[in-house]
Amino acid sequence: MLFFAHAYDVQISTRVLLCRIVIVMVAGIFSTHLLRVFIKWRGWLLQPIEKVIPRLMISMVLMSMIYSLLVLGAIEFFSLSIETAKKVSFWTRFLGSTVDNGLFILPWTLIYYFYHFIEKSRKQQMDTLQLETLIKELELKTIKAHINPHFIFNSLNSIRALVDENPERARKAITELSNILRSSMQADKSETVTLEKELFIVKDYLALENMRFEDRLKIEYEIDEDTLDQPVPPMMLQTLVENAIKHGISKQIHGGIVRVISEFKGHFHEMAVQNTGYLNGARNTEGFGLSSTTDRLNLLYGNKAKFEIKQATATLVEARVLIPFESEIR
């Protein structure tokens, strides 16, 4: 305003000028505040941007008009208009003022809107991130805690039979079952354990299954001793072995073999479980264990780890996990 006053070199008294500045400011604050209240009331900040922009445009035009009316009205009312301006009709001045002020209001409103828009989407991103980590944690917990109840009760039943038949074996079986239950409960406390620890559980588990299946189950281990220190996700090998029994051995009338393998393959630590049996399509849908294995590897190693299950030979099914070396993850 001051700039205009001087640029056109029009004689305006300081009193008039100050009054006009006050009017412009009050009207400006009033009308933009009105728009803000309106935007908040209609919840435009929460709506998708492509819906809001046209509405924002229309409301900005309306607001410019209200603003111009206010300013011009106040100027007329207090008779503060500048001499030269009186020659122009009110409506022309109104139109001019609307366009004029609209140019100031437009960036102002857009800045307001985009500031909130960015703020909001940042907050949303934070929320989804937090939610994702929460889900991840929960998923890991439920996956790890999963032990087949069928196995637990069958084992208890076998143990009860052994109490008379072979008390020594029964005592040992109770220890084995306790170890498995304990480790499945503790599993959620750490992201990884050493293979050695995991193997203790697997061995206890297979010993118990051996008690149930007797001569129908043969167990073999091919473990490279150097891999014993490797960190592995807890209960993962265990899940694969459990699957091998559930879908493999227990479906075979004459039983079969379960072979647990751990070795280094290139840049990977490979763990494999082979079992007598036949891979069929149905297996993919029924295996909670299989989908959870894939999910867990994804959660822990991204796409660096691999998991596959295939018919290795005519009678052997092999489930294989490849985990990148510890040093390469960090």
Q: Kindly list the residues in this chain that would bind another protein in the complex (CB under 8 A).
A: 149-154, 156-158, 160-162, 164-165, 211-214, 250-253, 255
At its nearest, how many Å lie between another protein and the CB of residue 252? Answer: 5
Q: 175 and 208 in contact (C-beta within 8 Å)?
A: no
Nearest to 112 by CA among 26, 104, 50: 104
At its nearest, how many Å lie between another protein and the CB of residue 202? Answer: 21
At its nearest, how many Å lie between another protein and the CB of residue 214? Answer: 6
Q: 233 and 198 in contact (C-beta within 8 Å)?
A: no
At its nearest, how many Å lie between another protein and the CB of residue 301? Answer: 32
Q: Is 68 helix (H, G, I), strand (E, B) or coil?
A: helix
Residue 272 to residue 222: CA distance in whole angstroms: 10
At its nearest, how many Å lie between another protein and the CB of residue 166? Answer: 10
User: How many angstroms from the chain centroid is the CA of residue 98?
Assistant: 48
Give the nearer residue to another protein in terms of CB position, either 46 or 253.
253
Give the nearer residue to another protein in terms of CB position, either 27 or 217.
217
Give the nearer residue to another protein in terms of CB position, either 16 or 257.
257
Give the nearer residue to another protein in terms of CB position, either 124 or 157.
157
At its nearest, how many Å lie between another protein and the CB of residue 57? Answer: 59
- Torsion angle, alpha carbons of 278, 282, 286, 287, to 10: 40
Q: Is 287 helix (H, G, I), strand (E, B) or coil?
A: coil
Residue 31 to residue 22: CA distance in whole angstroms: 14
At its nearest, how many Å lie between another protein and the CB of residue 318? Answer: 20
> 311-314: long-range contacts at Cβ-Cβ below 8 A with a sequence spacing of 24 or more?
311/278, 311/279, 312/274
Give the nearer residue to another protein in terms of CB position, either 93 or 246.
246
At its nearest, how many Å lie between another protein and the CB of residue 56? Answer: 56
List the alpha helices (DSSP H) in 232-272: 236-243
- Torsion angle, alpha carbons of 294, 299, 302, 307, to 10: -20
> 167-170: long-range contacts at Cβ-Cβ below 8 A with a sequence spacing of 24 or more?
169/211
Strand segments (E) across the chain = 193-194, 217-223, 231-232, 256-265, 268-276, 306-311, 316-324
Amino acid residing at 1: M
Give the nearer residue to another protein in terms of CB position, either 163 or 185.
163
Give the nearer residue to another protein in terms of CB position, either 182 or 251.
251
Give the nearer residue to another protein in terms of CB position, either 234 or 248.
248
